[in-house]
Structure 1
Amino acid sequence: MATHHNHSHDGHDHDHNHEALDLVETDASGPETGGSAHAHSVWEKLGEYGPVSLSLALLLGGLALDQYAVDWFRDPWRFIWYLAAYLPVGWPVLRRAVANILKGNVFTEFFLMGVATIGAFAIREYPEGVAVMLFYTIGELFQDAAVLRARRSIKALLDVRPDTVTVLRNGKTVSTKAAQVKIGDIVQVKPGEKVGLDGKLRSETGSFDTAALTGESVPRTITRGEDVLAGMINRQTLVDMEVTTLYQDSKLSRILKLVQEATSRKARTQEFIARFAKIYTPIICALALLITVIPYFFVTEYRFQDWLYRGLVFLVIGCPCALVISIPLGYFGGIGAGSRQGILFKGSVFLDLITQVKTVVMDKTGTLTQGVFRVQEAKAETLSIRELTRLTASLESKSTHPVATAILTYAGTNEPLLPVENVEEIPGQGLKGVVGGKTVLAGNVKLLHNVNIPFDNALTAIPFTVVLVAVDGQFAGYFTIADEEKPDAAETVRQLHRMGLKTVMLSGDKSAVVQAVAAKVGVGEALGDLLPEDKVREVERLKRALSSNPKAKLAFVGDGVNDAPVVALADVGLAMGGLGSDATIETADVVIQTDQPAKIAVAIRIGKATRQIVWQNITLSLVVKAIVLLLGAGGLATMWEAVFADVGVALLAILNAVRVQNLKF
């Protein structure tokens, strides 16, 4: 808004994008009542556009009076008229210039604008003085509109966080602000309602739409004791959940906080431009002074007013607005474009870094695969499949291991489980117990070897997790269990290869399984049986391989707690943020909200598009400015050309920066 801009161009005061993000937080506090919100927006619009409209009307009126040489339109009335046109747009800028000077920060764009326009009034070039300020303020409004647009896509995240929740207290339901709910409170979620806090389900089962968090369109069934996250939508029946995290600590709130901080990590280009403006602005002021004074010693018919005008024109042209406005806006647009795709860049620096990635290292479980184990095949030897499944599922019901869950899911609820006694869990091997009067063993190869039960050795070559089952000392059959690839995993790897990137998969799963998945999705290099410290060692090795090219970067994509160290070690750490571990999300530089591997390629494309737009803006601003500065110094450019060079280029750069949000990725 023209009346309270927050962005001097010395690099200290440029916090437009922060202001925009801060507004996101304030908007979250809760909806206003319709009437007051409407009245508020009307006053806001008047505050924004009123001064500009008044100034424009008076300027056009003044130019018409000048054109028709109206008798009474001479000084002092002419001066008063144009002063009235100048103040609505000029006063806020002059106020900022003074405020910055008092802070010891003299050479800002506000100072340049102030000196140039007051100088124009001093030499009676009133319309030009008004035009410079007016078009500058219009440029600022355009910038605000662009920032607002980028902000809306980020603010959309907030709409998935309800303000109030229904709490059960003493058998009664009470509507309470989500921020006031305590850990341990029981919250009721109605069908179609959004979950306001993280918690554990207390009802037997519930169906939830997780699209807001993971981008997954298929509803997810959650059973008693499992996690329910803020932002999910309850699809079917009324459910109860116990709150496990405070409102401000929920996974969604933390991601929003990361969005708030996203613009504070500036890209190198941005930091360079801020430093450049600090040196460039005093030089422009000094040159403008020299253009005014030096000709006195060399020009025979020196006229101070003419050379002062040239100096003022030079000042206006030299203003570095286009550069300093459009570059942060370009990065801000990139962050906004990412958030619309469900990708959170935690700072513009990572938009730059991701364009330099040459090696993409990925975890397997939860990144390229769904992290949900399912029975792929069941084979019975001495019993029927039905009997084998019933006996194994009954024994596995005493374990919480993901493999046990997969067998229970495969068995379904059609057959009642048999009574189980004397259950013994043999670490790293499997289970032993008496099921329906029969001794059942279910586990890996080691388990059957240790009790000398013979089985077909060919089973050891199966590239999946194999659960071998023995009943009463005899091999009875087996189940193969595997984690399924995500639907877009293979296409993601193909896209990364098309970009000329090397792909590597590192996993703690057994090597045979890792190689099978790698072959299926097309990953270039794959290693299994890795502990977290092994992953760190491998990432360090891959980084050393890139060390000959200082611009080549390594990205690591993971989701589990054990991935946090390597995510931190990578040049660009990406986390699967929908249902990934908190530690990894905190450590990562880029968070993929949708849990889709395809977004890795999208994130790289957004980074490249943003960088291209930023460099287009730098080139456009510097080339046009250089040409018009030369024309201005030679007296061939007037204030009107100066206005175009300054505000026109700024507008073009802003429109170009906004373009990143409309690109298809």
Structure 2
Amino acid sequence: MNYAPKETNIPHDHAHEADTVSIFNLFLPALISLVLLLGGIVMDHWFPQTWFTDWVRIIWYAAAYLPVGLPVLREALAHIRKGAIFSEFFLMGIATIGAFAIGEYPEGVAVMLFYSVGEVFQAMAVSRAKSNIKSLLDQRPDEVMVLKNNEAQTVKAEAVGIGEIIQLKPGEKLGLDGELLSQTASFNTSALTGESKPDTKHKGETVLAGMINLNTVSQVKVTTAYTDSKLSKILALVQNATTQKAPTELFIRKFAKIYTPIVVFLAVVICLLPYFFVENYVFSDWLYRSLIFLVISCPCALVISIPLGYFGGIGAASSNGILFKGGNFLDALATIQNVVLDKTGTLTAGVFKVQEVVFDPAFNQEEILQLVNVLESHSSHPVATAIHEYVGKPNPEIRLEHTEEIAGHGLKSTVNGKDLLVGNFQLMNRFGIPYDVDPNSIVYTTIAVAYDNKFVGYITIADRIKEDAQETIRLLHKLNVKTTMLSGDKNTVVKYVAEQLGIDNAFGDLLPEDKVNRVKAIKAQGESVAFVGDGVNDAPVVALSDVGIAMGGLGSDATIETADVVIQDDKPNKIPMAIQIGKQTKKIVWQNIGLAFGVKAIVLLLGAGGLATMWEAVFADVGVALLAILNAVRIQRMKF
């Protein structure tokens, strides 16, 4: 039965009024039923029992039953047509119709009334749980202002091409990913990151769809098509998230399919079997007990509250800038034993700066730097960006031939018939280039250079550790999670960063396949692993891990698509937060399971023994469902 309000195209100013009307419409059938039920109870006490009033009672209580009962009976018939006979709607239908058959009209109406109220509260709770997720859908404007021939024109966002210039006024949302052309601009990024603090961007920096311009008129050069923007990908992930069911949820659904027909069979046994063993057998009494049994055993508290718990967890995470691709990953993170992290872009800012250039005086330093700068223009690695910033714009007159990237090592090309090698010292070893430097004596990230089969020297580059990286590791240890850092960077740099942050294990000089092997070694010990990365070369190990976590701001599209969880603002402290949300979600789900089974078991025994009435049955079913719903919604109010 779907009590959820239908979506409408109501103007934003009337949204609150529309919500009030919608909630009133949801409760209207239950309100009519409640008024008629109370009127019937008053009538039972004030009027004598005669043949005439018996018929009046039947008509009166039938009128009270129909507003809340008809939707349930329709759902029961719809499920029967699909072959799903033993649904919760079927249980409620036969229990309440049975109550009418033995003259227990108020109980029959009350059961259906409270069940319907529970369903309305469920719809409201699910709507609330989805609100944090659905709010993302409103972050992309349909139209943008594009500058053409120095004139601003309103254009559909999906029609804007790469390279076009968007003009963004204060208070407007950016419709596509791009590069800021204005000198500086402040943006509200809360829709993407969950952070309300303004983020100041400078000329040349990347700005993303969904960001809100805060202060001055800004211009943005479009770099990504509308359908390929980060926000479009995020929305696709979120919309698919609820289709990925957690193991607990899948188990309960399977359990309900087996449990419900067993319950119906037991109810029939309770009604008929005593005929053979009880001396003063009264059919109506035992039918009443079996009907109580049916109402109590309805699995709606479980069927409602468990998915709602996962909805709540996904909603709470997305409001904090963490996107789970399904409830199953909430469960997986709740019990994770190891978090393996990449270094660059995950624990460090990925913003490199050249520290020093140490070249052999026999070479022309300016000339070699120009060659290195042109070769690095073929790479999108942050190291290449640092070299561009240090050297300047690449010389267009330099012609490279046979350029290739050697995974995990660096770049190779030919200039004027001579080989140019730029990468780590493993690249020098691979091509047999002798050098008189001990790479382990250099703390910084080192770029070795060889030209014409001779070692030229090296460039040192330093990265900055993220401000919250140390706190992230502390929180992970507090959650009893072991930490490991894997990086393609040189071992001395990796060990230095690991010591600064207190990471348990760290390994450097790794190729992508080495990272895969390290994660496989941890999994071979029977322990679960979450891997956090951002680069294209991290995609294989992200896919291998039990939970792959991608840094969504700097992260490559390949890694984001492969990952199970996406952190939108690249802040590592969201990793322990994601684990805490997973733990709290799982805790609430199991609290609801325990509550539902515990109360139902007690009242089932009392009902079968004739010690519980239909009113206790209503509490065991609808009351427990309402308590479970309130408990599930609680996760959205928690502070992580």
**TM-score bracket for the superposition, by shorter chain length:** 0.7 to 0.9
Residues 351 and 606 of structure 1 are in contact (CA less than 8 Å); yes or no, is this contact kept in structure 2?
Answer: yes
Structure 1 residue 573: Cα displacement: 0.6
C-alpha distance in 2 between matches for 1:517 and 1:176: 48
Q: Secondary structure at the match of 2:53?
A: coil
Task: Find the counterpart in structure 2 of residue 115 from structure 1.
Answer: 94
1:361 to 335, 340, 351: 340
Structure 1 residue 560: Cα displacement: 0.9
Structure 1 residue 228: Cα displacement: 3.1
Task: Find the counterpart in structure 2 of residue 542 from structure 1.
Answer: 522
Structure 1 residue 418: Cα displacement: 12
Task: Find the counterpart in structure 2 of residue 522 from structure 1.
Answer: 502
Q: Secondary structure at the match of 1:371?
A: coil
2:44 to 66, 70, 93: 66
C-alpha distance in 1 between matches for 2:540 and 2:350: 20
C-alpha distance in 2 between matches for 1:59 and 1:573: 54
Q: Secondary structure at the match of 2:548?
A: strand
Residues 194 and 319 of structure 2 are in contact (CA less than 8 Å); yes or no, is this contact kept in structure 1?
Answer: no
Q: Secondary structure at the match of 1:357?
A: coil
C-alpha distance in 2 between matches for 1:608 and 1:328: 15
Structure 1 residue 186: Cα displacement: 3.6
Structure 1 residue 356: Cα displacement: 2.3
Calculate percent identity across the aligned residue pairs. 59
Is the alpha carbon distance of 1:243 and 1:319 closer, same or farther for their aligned partners in structure 2, counting shifts above 3 Å?
same
Is the alpha carbon distance of 1:425 and 1:443 closer, same or farther for their aligned partners in structure 2, counting shifts above 3 Å?
farther
2:595 to 620, 639, 661: 620
Amino acid at match of 1:300: E
Aligned ranges 1:125-274 → 2 under 5 Å: 125-169=104-148, 171-183=150-162, 185-201=164-180, 203=181, 205-209=183-187, 210-214=189-193, 217=197, 219-224=199-204, 227-235=206-214, 237-274=216-253
Aligned ranges 1:279-294 → 2 under 5 Å: 279-294=258-273
Is the alpha carbon distance of 1:625 and 1:184 closer, same or farther for their aligned partners in structure 2, counting shifts above 3 Å?
same
2:306 to 307, 327, 350: 327
Count of residues in correspondence between the two structures: 611
* RMSD of aligned alpha carbons: 3.9
Amino acid at match of 1:524: D
CA deviations 1:339-392 (Å, max 9, x no partner) are 12211111111111112211111111111111101356799999xxxxxx9999
Task: Find the counterpart in structure 1 of residue 618 from structure 2.
Answer: 643
CA deviations 1:198-243 (Å, max 9, x no partner) are 2345x3644353454345746343434x543202233554344344
| Structure 2 residue 534 is matched with structure 1 residue 559 | yes
| Structure 2 residue 564 is matched with structure 1 residue 589 | yes
Tell me which moved more, 568-577 or 288-297.
288-297
1:275 to 235, 248, 254: 254
| Structure 2 residue 441 is matched with structure 1 residue 461 | yes
Residues 27 and 117 of structure 2 are in contact (CA less than 8 Å); yes or no, is this contact kept in structure 1?
Answer: no
C-alpha distance in 2 between matches for 1:261 and 1:235: 31
| Structure 2 residue 632 is matched with structure 1 residue 657 | yes
Structure 1 residue 422: Cα displacement: 8.4
C-alpha distance in 1 between matches for 2:425 and 2:243: 54
Is the alpha carbon distance of 1:430 and 1:406 closer, same or farther for their aligned partners in structure 2, counting shifts above 3 Å?
farther
Is the alpha carbon distance of 1:636 and 1:514 closer, same or farther for their aligned partners in structure 2, counting shifts above 3 Å?
same
C-alpha distance in 1 between matches for 2:354 and 2:163: 36
Tell me which moved more, 570-579 or 362-371.
570-579
C-alpha distance in 2 between matches for 1:166 and 1:462: 51
Unaligned segments of structure 2, at least 5 residues: 404-409, 416-421, 429-434, 450-456
TM-score, normalised to structure 1's length?
0.82
Task: Find the counterpart in structure 2 of residue 473 from structure 1.
Answer: none
TM-score, normalised to structure 2's length?
0.85
Residues 440 and 491 of structure 2 are in contact (CA less than 8 Å); yes or no, is this contact kept in structure 1?
Answer: no
Tell me which moved more, 342-351 or 236-245.
236-245
C-alpha distance in 2 between matches for 1:329 and 1:88: 26
CA deviations 1:429-455 (Å, max 9, x no partner) are 999x9xxxxxxxx9999999xxxxxx9
Unaligned segments of structure 1, at least 5 residues: 6-18, 383-388, 412-416, 434-441, 449-454, 470-476, 547-551
Is the alpha carbon distance of 1:231 and 1:390 closer, same or farther for their aligned partners in structure 2, counting shifts above 3 Å?
farther
Amino acid at match of 1:540: K
| Structure 2 residue 314 is matched with structure 1 residue 339 | no
2:490 to 507, 510, 513: 510
Is the alpha carbon distance of 1:260 and 1:536 closer, same or farther for their aligned partners in structure 2, counting shifts above 3 Å?
same
Structure 1 residue 586: Cα displacement: 0.8
C-alpha distance in 2 between matches for 1:483 and 1:106: 63
| Structure 2 residue 508 is matched with structure 1 residue 533 | no
Q: Secondary structure at the match of 2:293?
A: helix
2:553 to 534, 558, 578: 578
Structure 1 residue 601: Cα displacement: 0.9
C-alpha distance in 2 between matches for 1:639 and 1:514: 67
Task: Find the counterpart in structure 1 of residue 328 from structure 2.
Answer: 349
Task: Find the counterpart in structure 1 of residue 54 from structure 2.
Answer: 75
| Structure 2 residue 470 is matched with structure 1 residue 495 | no
